[in-house]
Chain A
Amino acid sequence: LAKTTQPISMDSYEGQEVNITCSHNNIATNDYITWYQQFPSQGPRFIIQGYKTKVTNEVASLFIPADRKSSTLSLPRVSLSDTAVYYCLVGYSGNTPLVFGKGTRLSVIA
């Protein structure tokens, strides 16, 4: 399984754009990159998933460079409710379960 590395924590003020970068140097050809969000005492929630270039949905954008060795989750204009832990995972739609690391703890400050 490809190992991921992401910052342990980040702080941001409300209204700012937040970019969380994840490194996955050993990503395989058929691996997808997926991000989850987890609030305290809740299960993680799927945010976004991509394979290459850029993916955008109503919550976030995911930027993946051509070499796919890293990816960046972009949260536009964060609010206090975006304070959570964000996990970057790499895997594929096969029979190998995903591995959750410790994630990035984002704190949004008023």
Chain B
Amino acid sequence: DGGITQSPKYLFRKEGQNVTLSCEQNLNHDAMYWYRQDPGQGLRLIYYSQIVNDFQKGDIAEGYSVSREKKESFPLTVTSAQKNPTAFYLCASAAGTVSYEQYFGPGTRLTVT
């Protein structure tokens, strides 16, 4: 059953702690993306990667870090430097450079108190 998985679905952390969100895909897609969504807002791009061992910053990369050591995995770390980390985080993938047809995971809702 092909698709994108994100874990966990809900995550709670104390302020000042780093936290890593998982994203795995078995679609054999080259490109992967991380978005952040705040209530009532659209999606904002954090980081994206079009090939293994390479990634680029999106619009709101500050306070976040990523790695792309394997084609199927693109974990996102929310660092303590991110001033307002509580949000809904979405991971997506796309085949090659067909960026306009992205497949999204179910999302992780992160709450930092």
Where the two chains meet, the residues of A that have a C-beta atom closer than 8 Å to any C-beta of B are 32, 34, 41-46, 49, 87, 89, 91-103
Contact = CB atoms under 8 A, between A and B. Distances in A.
A34 B58 CA distance: 20
A93 B98 contact: yes
Contacts of B58: 97
Contacts of A89: 100
B110 to A, nearest CB: 13
Contacts, number: 60
Interface of B: 4, 33, 35, 40-45, 48, 50, 58, 88, 90, 92, 96-107, 109
A91 B41 CA distance: 20
B105 A97 contact: no
B99 A91 contact: yes
B41 A98 contact: no
Residue with the highest number of chain A CB atoms closer than 10 Å, among B90, B98, B99: B99
B42 A103 contact: yes
